[in-house]
Every structure is written in C-alpha cells, then in structure tokens.
C-alpha cells in the first residue's frame, strides 16, 4: 500500500513541473486536498474517475496535456474536472497517470505507481488481510503472556526469571503489533471514508 506521505511528495514534485500553468497548479492543489482518494496508476483505463496529465515539452509528439473522465463523462477542462469530482460521492477513488520527461527514472513517481486500476481495489483488500493477520498475531502474543502469568502464579519463584522474560517479550510484541495495526486501521478508515 502506498503511503500518504509518498503520494503527497509525488503531487508536490509534479506541481513543480507544471507550476507555470495556474490551472494545472490549481488542479494539483485540489488533488493534494484529496490525497487519500488519489492513486497513481500506469494505466487508468477502466477507472470510475481517471485523470491523465502530460508535461512533455520536448518530444516530437507531445501528449495531450489534460485528459479526464468522471463516471464515463469526458471532462473538457481541469476546472470542470475539479467541480465534477467535488460533487461526486467521496468513496469514488481518483486514478491519476502522470506523463513527463524521464518519468521512468523519477524515483518519487515510481514509488507510488501502481500498474493499473485493479491494484487500487487490491490495496484495500491487502489492508484488510493485513489487519486480520495482525489481530491474530496479537491474540497469540496475549495468549503467551496470559499463560506465562498463570504459570508464574502456579510455580512460584523457581521459574520467575524465565517467565518474566517471556512476559516481557510478549508485551513488547503486543505494543509493536498494536502500532502496526493502528497504521493499517487508519489506512482502511481512509479508504472507507473516501
């Protein structure tokens, strides 16, 4: 799953490329505000909301600078796109494809780039699977902690050092897993809200 920070970095870097165009800068500002809904894809074909931006100035056949689609309707202009997406239900994801010189060499873009629209849905499913796996690991660590505590009460002081060690390991593991689960839960909540 692509982090919010990496997506913000990609939007910021592309904004620098189009900064001399106030309309595209406005569009990038809008996308920054909608960052949790934005997914960078190599091919946005089949997306409910798709946006292709091209910033290739020095090629023989420069790409179309702006091409967008909202629910099957082609948007003629970035401001029309912003208006349509702003009125669209917030659970609709925005699939963005950026085309610029040396895009395949730009690490900041390659880090956020998904192959196609199907990976957007797979990201949500992957987060749900990861949350389930983390909960299972937490339950296991909690079981170990509870069993060690029970044995400590039962056996007295002869195994105290050993059981204290295992209880400490289990506590550390639960804290670590809890932090990871919180991160995944935030991502899932963002997907559900957006």
As beta bridge partners, residue 50 has 69, 95
Encode 150-179: b = buried (16+ Cβ within 10 Å), e = exposed. eebeeeeeeeeeebeebbeebeebbeebee
Quickly tell me which residue has 């990201």 as its tokens: 123
Tens of pLDDT along 38-75?
999 988 888 889 999 887 654 444 557 788 999 989 99
Say what the pLDDT of residue 69 is: 92
Q: How confident is the model at residue 31 (pLDDT cuts 50, 70, 90)?
A: very high
As beta bridge partners, residue 68 has 51, 75
- Average pLDDT for residues 11-16, to the nearest whole number? 90
Q: Which of 124, 128, 100 is nearest to 114 (CA)?
A: 124
**Global confidence as pTM:** 0.61
- The Cα–Cα gap between 22 and 145 comes to 59
Handedness of CA 137, 140, 142, 144 (dihedral sign): negative
Q: Which of 67, 16, 11 is nearest to 40 (CA)?
A: 11
- The Cα–Cα gap between 60 and 10 comes to 26
Averaged pLDDT of the chain: 84
Whether residue 96 contacts residue 38, with contact meaning beta carbons closer than 8 Å, is answered with yes
Say what the pLDDT of residue 7 is: 92
Say what the pLDDT of residue 123 is: 62
Tens of pLDDT along 134-184?
899 999 999 999 999 888 888 777 788 888 898 999 999 999 999 888 887
SS3 81: helix
Whether residue 174 contacts residue 144, with contact meaning beta carbons closer than 8 Å, is answered with no
The pair of three-digit structure tokens given for residue 174, joined into one six-digit string: 């639960």
More confident residue, 190 or 73: 73
Say what the pLDDT of residue 21 is: 80
Tens of pLDDT along 71-114?
989 998 999 999 999 888 777 889 999 988 888 888 999 989 88
């Amino acid at each position: 799953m692509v982090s919010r920070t990496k997506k913000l970095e990609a939007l910021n870097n592309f904004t620098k490329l189009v900064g001399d165009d106030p309309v595209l800068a406005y569009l990038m500002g809008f996308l920054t505000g909608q960052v949790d809904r934005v997914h960078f894809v190599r091919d946005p074909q089949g997306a409910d909301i798709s946006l292709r931006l091209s910033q290739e100035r020095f090629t023989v056949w420069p790409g179309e600078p702006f091409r967008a689609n909202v629910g099957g309707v082609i948007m003629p202009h970035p401001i029309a796109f912003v208006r349509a997406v702003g009125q669209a239900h917030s659970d609709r994801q925005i699939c963005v494809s950026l085309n610029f010189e040396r895009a395949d060499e730009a690490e900041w873009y390659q880090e956020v780039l998904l192959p196609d629209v199907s990976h957007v849905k797979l990201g949500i499913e992957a987060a749900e699977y990861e949350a389930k796996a983390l909960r299972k690991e937490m339950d296991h660590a909690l079981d170990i902690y509870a069993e060690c505590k029970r044995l400590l009460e039962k056996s007295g002081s002869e195994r105290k050092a050993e059981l204290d060690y295992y209880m400490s390991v289990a506590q550390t593991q639960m804290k670590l897993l809890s932090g990871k689960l919180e991160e995944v839960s935030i991502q899932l909540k963002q997907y559900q809200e957006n």
